[in-house]
């Protein structure tokens, strides 16, 4: 025998109606509760798991305006937006029931009712309730995922003058709706800055979506950003929502914006200007409401001058431009960040506490850090893994200097050997993180995969 589901609450001042509904429905659903007064609804919702409420339109004798039912409908949905409310109304009061539906009721039941139609209406309402609960669960799960992602990205660390100026700028622009362009070298933490702007913005309770444009091929661009319908192309087996639509109400972070081809720049500009997208394979326009934060390590103004980047798109993205300082210009922040990562990585690798010697800190501070914070973290991580004592000395840190790289490049006999060396060096700098290595090289991931295969670097 199939297990009964669904917790029903019936609210009506007519006890005979309550008894009749209860007798019929208790054989169909898990629990059926009744109330003659709506005043007890808030308490019951706070203590019981109610799925569906059958709510009368009128409770005061001689009053048939339906205003009481509308009042309690609003209170119920304010307390639990996912609950499903069915209005109970007399046959001649259909207009009142329609008004209630506009206020958020799922459907209505007329008195006297047909048992089969009543049952079908409540069963449909139960499916809606379960769907609402699942959506709420998914939203809470997504919120938790977003919070976990934010924690993984950590906090912005730095007390230098340039960073204090950056904090002030973030605080000023975060509360506006302005599109922001982040410019800086690879590894300076552009996505971390973008997330901080989102956290301080009025959109902070909505989603932060990130897309690496440098990793998108021409064919995937529209599907990824605008979505597609089932059958729109060979591998489109299901409908897919695009990043623009998914980020509606929140912030969309477009990383590596400088890597877009001229034709894709036009499509991006159109979506931003019109504030709507059309999924591949569809003619339906979907309105979007997003704030755009974009980032690049390229010189976009020069690209505009050289006709490599659209001037109109540049100004659309660049309401406010924020230049993120490289690590070498941040004074003692190198020490602060090194100590932060040391404590974090000691925990990650279950090591006994480690300390830097003064010589180790001097060596870290004197390095130029061409890979910026990303390079610093990888350097500390390597030292933590390989260190055999409880202190980190200068000997625990090694990195190629620019002169070393030039020397190695000079040894290359051909352009192909030089390309192989540069790719191998980028992969090593980024612990074989393909996405990060591709960013450092300024190429897409698929291009990097082909280069790895070409040069046999697996």
Report d(CA 57, CA 14) in Å as an integer: 12
Indicate whether 236 belongs to any domain: yes
Q: Are 58 and 66 in contact (CB under 8 A)?
A: yes
DSSP state of 351: P
Q: Which of 325, 354, 370 is the last residue of a domain?
A: 325
Residues 195 and 223 in one domain: yes
The verdict on 13 and 125 lying in the same domain is yes
Do 268 and 158 share a structural domain? yes
Alpha carbons 123 and 134: distance in angstroms, whole number: 17
Distances in whole angstroms, Cα of residue 13 to Cα of each of 59, 87, 303: 6, 14, 73
pLDDT of residue 270: 94
List, in sequence order, every residue forming a beta bridge with 252; answer none if it has no partner. Answer: 209, 292
Distance between CA atoms of 289 and 267, rounded to whole angstroms? 17
CA of 76: how far to CAs of 36, 39, 79, 98, 412, in Å?
A: 16, 11, 5, 18, 74
Domain count across the chain: 4
143 within domain boundaries: no
Distance CA 124, CA 142 (A): 27
Boundary (domain end) residue, out of 350, 373, 396: 396
Percent of the chain with pLDDT strictly greater than 70: 90
Asked if residue 1 belongs to a domain, the reply is no
Q: Quick check: is 140 in a domain?
A: no
DSSP 280: B
Give Rg (Cα) of the chain: 30
Question: Residue 415 belongs to what domain range?
Answer: 402-455
Do residue 318 and residue 337 come from a single domain?
no
Together in a domain, 223 and 305: yes
Contact 181, 321 (CB under 8 A): yes
pLDDT at 275: 94
Residue 198 and residue 64 share a domain: no
**Where residue 379 sits, what CATH number does that domain have?**
1.10.8.60
**pLDDT tens digits, residue range 295-307?**
999 999 999 999 9
Following DSSP, what letter does each residue of 354-406 receive, concatenated?
Answer: -EE-HHHHHHHHHS--TTHHHHHHHHHHHHHHH--SSEE-GGG-----HHHHH
Same domain? 199 vs 50: no
Q: What is the dihedral of CA 402, 406, 409, 410, to 10 degrees?
A: -170
What the block records as the tokens of 376 is 């610093």
Strand-pair category, 240-241 with 227-228: antiparallel
Model confidence pLDDT, tens digit, residues 21-48: 999 999 899 999 999 999 999 999 888 8
Does residue 146 lie within any of the structural domains? Answer: no
Q: How many CB atoms lie within 10 A of CB 29?
A: 18
Domain termination residue (choose one: 263, 298, 325): 325
Pairing of strands 320-323, 180-183: parallel
Same domain, 75 and 219: no
341 sits in the region (left: phi over 0; alpha: psi -120 to 50; else beta) called alpha
Token pair, residue 131, equals 């769907």
Which residues does the chain have with pLDDT short of 50? Answer: none
Rounded to two decimals, the pTM is: 0.64
In a domain, 141, yes or no: no
- Shared domain for 92 and 18, answered yes or no, is yes
Residues 332 and 321 in one domain: no
Domain with 316 in it: what CATH number? 3.40.50.300
Q: Where do the H-state alpha helices sit in 27-114?
A: 41-47, 67-79, 94-102
What CATH code is carried by the domain that includes residue 97?
A: 3.40.50.2300
Report the distance separating Cα 331 and Cα 160, nearest Å: 6
Q: Which two tokens stand for residue 125?
A: 């309402």
CB 103 within 8 A of CB 73: yes
Query: Looking at residue 416, which CATH number applies to its domain?
Result: 1.10.10
Residues 417 and 321 in one domain: no
Q: Give the three-state DSSP class for 253.
A: strand
**Do 254 and 373 lie in a common domain?**
no
Residue 2 lies in a domain: no
The answer to whether residue 148 is domain-embedded is no
Alpha helices of 209-276 — where are they, by DSSP H? 218-226, 243-246, 262-274
- Three-state DSSP class for 385? helix
């Amino acid at each position: 025998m199939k297990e009964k589901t669904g917790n029903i609450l019936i609210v009506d001042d007519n006890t005979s109606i309550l008894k009749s509904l209860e007798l019929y429905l208790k054989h169909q659903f898990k629990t059926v509760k009744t109330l003659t007064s709506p005043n007890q609804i808030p308490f019951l919702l706070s203590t019981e798991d109610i799925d569906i409420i059958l709510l009368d339109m009128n409770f005061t004798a001689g009053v048939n305006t339906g205003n009481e039912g509308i009042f309690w409908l609003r209170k119920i949905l304010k307390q639990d937006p996912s609950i499903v409310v069915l209005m109970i109304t007399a046959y001649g009061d259909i207009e009142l029931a329609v008004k209630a539906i506009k206020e958020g009721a799922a459907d209505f039941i007329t008195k006297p009712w047909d048992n089969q139609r009543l049952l079908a209406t409540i069963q449909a309402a139960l499916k809606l309730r379960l769907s609402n609960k699942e959506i709420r669960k998914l939203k809470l799960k997504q919120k938790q995922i977003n919070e976990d992602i934010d924690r993984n990205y950590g906090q912005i660390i730095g007390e230098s003058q340039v960073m204090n100026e950056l904090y002030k700028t973030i605080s000023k622009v975060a509360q506006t709706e302005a599109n922001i362009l982040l410019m800086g070298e690879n590894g300076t933490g552009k996505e971390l800055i973008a997330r901080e702007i989102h956290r301080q913005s009025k959109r902070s309770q909505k989603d932060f979506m990130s897309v690496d444009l440098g990793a998108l091929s021409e064919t995937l661009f529209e599907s990824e950003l605008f979505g597609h319908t089932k059958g729109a192309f060979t591998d489109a087996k299901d409908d897919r929502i695009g990043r623009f639509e998914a980020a509606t109400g929140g912030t969309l972070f477009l990383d590596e914006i400088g890597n877009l081809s001229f034709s894709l720049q036009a499509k991006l500009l159109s979506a931003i200007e019109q504030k709507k997208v059309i999924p591949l394979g569809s003619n339906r326009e979907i309105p979007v409401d997003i704030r755009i934060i974009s980032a690049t390590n390229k010189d976009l103004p020069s690209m505009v001058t050289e006709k490599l980047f659209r001037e109109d798109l540049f100004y659309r993205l660049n309401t406010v431009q924020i230049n993120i300082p490289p690590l070498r210009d941040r004074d003692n922040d190198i020490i602060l960040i090194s100590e932060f990562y040391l404590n974090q990585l000691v925990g990650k690798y279950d090591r006994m506490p480690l300390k830097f010697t003064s010589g180790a800190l001097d060596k870290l501070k004197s390095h130029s850090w061409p890979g910026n914070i990303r390079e610093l973290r990888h350097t500390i991580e390597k030292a933590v893994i390989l260190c055999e004592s409880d202190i980190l000395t200068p000997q625990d840190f090694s990195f190629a200097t620019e002169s070393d790289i030039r020397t190695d490049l000079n040894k290359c006999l051909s352009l192909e050997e030089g390309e192989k060396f540069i790719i191998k060096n980028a992969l090593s700098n980024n612990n074989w993180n393909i996405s990060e290595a591709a960013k450092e090289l300024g190429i897409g991931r698929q291009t990097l995969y082909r280069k790895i295969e070409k040069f046999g670097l697996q």
